[in-house]
Amino acid sequence: MTRNIRRATLAAVCLILIGGSTHLAAENKTTHEKADIVDTAISAGSFTTLVEAVKAAGLVETLKGEGPFTVFAPTDEAFAKLPAGTIDGLLKDKKKLTQILTYHVVPGKVMAKDVAAISSAKTVNGAQLKIDSSSGVKINDASVVKADVETSNGVIHVIDTVLIPSM
């Protein structure tokens, strides 16, 4: 029993050291299969606003689909930076919400190592994202704070700002 406690403690310390403050669990603990984008975001616990928005826009089934997708996922803290009332307004305007959410998704699986070779990417909503990897990685004005969270149907890159397309 002491051996199991030590292993559990060591595992917890490793998770804290590796995961930092934004923890994403992309694997199903019972089968060791990777979870899809939506389930990974839900299990992380730091994307509740994003998940709520994805549900309100009716995009859950799409993001649980085959993909692959690259999602630039804003954290709850990123959504909190928006002016007061913005989120409530968006949740009531499905068309505008869908435009914003699909601006965070690029078709295909773009890993961090691929970013150095590109300066822009076309999103699912048809608009272009500006990519700058000269000092860290920036997507428009958002910084990537955690990259390459692989899922069963793509990859998530965690960002610190909500991306707003020009509409």
Domain ranges for the chain: 22-159
- Considering only the top CATH level, what class is 22-159? mainly beta
- Residue 32 is predicted with a pLDDT of 57
Task: Provide the whole-model pTM.
Answer: 0.80
- The predicted-structure confidence for 94-134, as pLDDT tens digits, reads as follows 999 999 999 999 999 999 999 878 999 999 999 999 999 99
Q: What percentage of residues in the chain have a pLDDT greater than 90?
A: 74
Give 13 or 75, the one with higher predicted confidence: 75
Contact (Cβ atoms closer than 8 angstroms) between residue 67 and residue 147: no
**Rg of the chain (C-alpha set):** 17
The 3-state secondary structure of 49-99 reads HHHHHHHHHCCHHHHCCCCCEEEEEECHHHHHCCCCCHHHHHHHCHHHHHH
- Residue 10 is predicted with a pLDDT of 31
